[in-house]
Amino acid sequence: MLIVLRHLLSILLLPFLAVVAMPYWLLASFSANDSRWGNDLFIVWPAWIVGAAVTAVGLWLFIWCVSLFARVGRGTLAPWDPTQKLVAVGPYQFVRNPMISGVALLLISEALFWGSYLVGLWACVFITINHIYFVHSEEPGLIKRFGESYRIYQANVPRWVPRVKPWSGQ
């Protein structure tokens, strides 16, 4: 039960704030200054369909990563409760940060679905903040925690743009 609470807390404090709370605040607070799809635009239905598809992919990727953190890494997505083991399976064989990619896809899908340039701008800010955080804090911390195994992983698996073939660890 405690592990479930740890995961729920980390999800509520990190991705929920980024994907639900911040876009809601932007849409509610700045609606007069934001773009929105008009119902008469021919692009509305394709944007909604693409937004829904991207949402499904982003949510699936996020849930898969959280479950791998719990099962394989024995930790959470939160920096204050990190994994105990290096997770280099599943989507982590293609890209080092698939969970952040999943969250970014959710933000992009919201911008597409609502036709909101403010949510799109927030997606860009989110990606930039995470890139800076990963380069200057997360990755040096992973090198300290996992040593040579992370250095080998880092040398073979790209940070953001996925590999075509999965890395097998060899």
Tokens 């992370």 belong to 150
Per-residue pLDDT at 134: 94
Domain boundaries, the chain: 2-29+38-156
Give dist(CA 116, CA 20) in Å, integer.
Answer: 14
Average pLDDT over residues 52-60: 91
CB crowding 43-64: b at 16 or more within 10 Å, else e: eeeebbeebeebbeebbebbeb
Q: What is the mean pLDDT of the chain?
A: 88
Better pLDDT: 81 or 136 = 136
Which of 19-38 are b and which e, b meaning 16 or more Cβ less than 10 Å from the residue's Cβ? beebbeebbeeeeeebeebe
- % of the chain surpassing 70 pLDDT: 89
| DSSP annotation of 82 | -
Considering the chain, what percentage of its residues have pLDDT values greater than 90? Answer: 58
Residue 1 has what pLDDT?
60
Output the CA torsion 140→63→8→55 (10° steps): 100
pLDDT digits (tens, 9 = 90+) for 60-112: 998 899 889 888 988 877 777 788 999 999 999 999 999 999 999 999 999 98
Alpha helix positions (H), the chain: 2-13, 15-16, 22-29, 44-71, 98-114, 117-133, 139-146, 148-156
Instruction: Tell me the range of 44-48, 58-62, 142-146 where mean pLDDT is highest.
Output: 142-146
